[in-house]
Amino acid sequence: MQEAINRLRNKKDDEGFTLIELLVVVVIIGVLVAIAVPVYLNYRKGAADKSAQSDVRGAVSTIEQFYTDNGNTYPKTTRAGIESSFDVSTGSTDTPAAGAAAPAGWITLSDKTKMTYVAGPATGTAPNTTVATYKVCAVNANGSEKLYVYDSALGGSVKTYDKGKIADCTP
């Protein structure tokens, strides 16, 4: 019995962590945080950039559908610096009522995305003018400030430009 009591007394002295062990754990956690936070922030910027690029692709699909539905002409009015979902034909940012269908030219934007739609030169005589080309540009404020541009005259994919390389989005 005395031996069991002595073992318990000796074991009591071995409980807990030393200050050095706790400091080592804190340093390891600090190093992991120092590595993880910048990586996480870069992922967030990349996601914001991809959302702006995706918004341009979605806008192109909507505009091409508008073209088909409206006698082979694109929306005639330039819409600059729009920061919320909008109707490309009217410029309206009024969200359709719950359950109501969105207008034919409705473009949905991601959070913090700013988009510009630029109609190309009109041809023909009023009121029968048509627009044969357009550009769509977008940038996301939470991203790396890259500008995403689609030019219908060139076709192809959405191009990426560093901010400032294109002074304005014009056809």
Return the percentage of the chain with pLDDT > 90, whole number.
26
CA distance linking residue 165 with residue 148, whole number of Å: 11
pLDDT digits (tens, 9 = 90+) for 106-132: 888 899 999 888 888 888 877 777 888
C-alpha 40: how far from chain center: 16
Give pTM, 2 decimals. 0.74
Q: What does the pLDDT read at residue 171? A: 46
Q: What does the pLDDT read at residue 8? A: 67
Assign domain 16-95+102-161 to its CATH architecture: 2-Layer Sandwich (3.30)
pLDDT digits (tens, 9 = 90+) for 6-37: 776 766 556 778 899 999 999 999 999 999 88
Indicate the domain borders of the chain: 16-95+102-161
CA distance linking residue 52 with residue 141, whole number of Å: 9
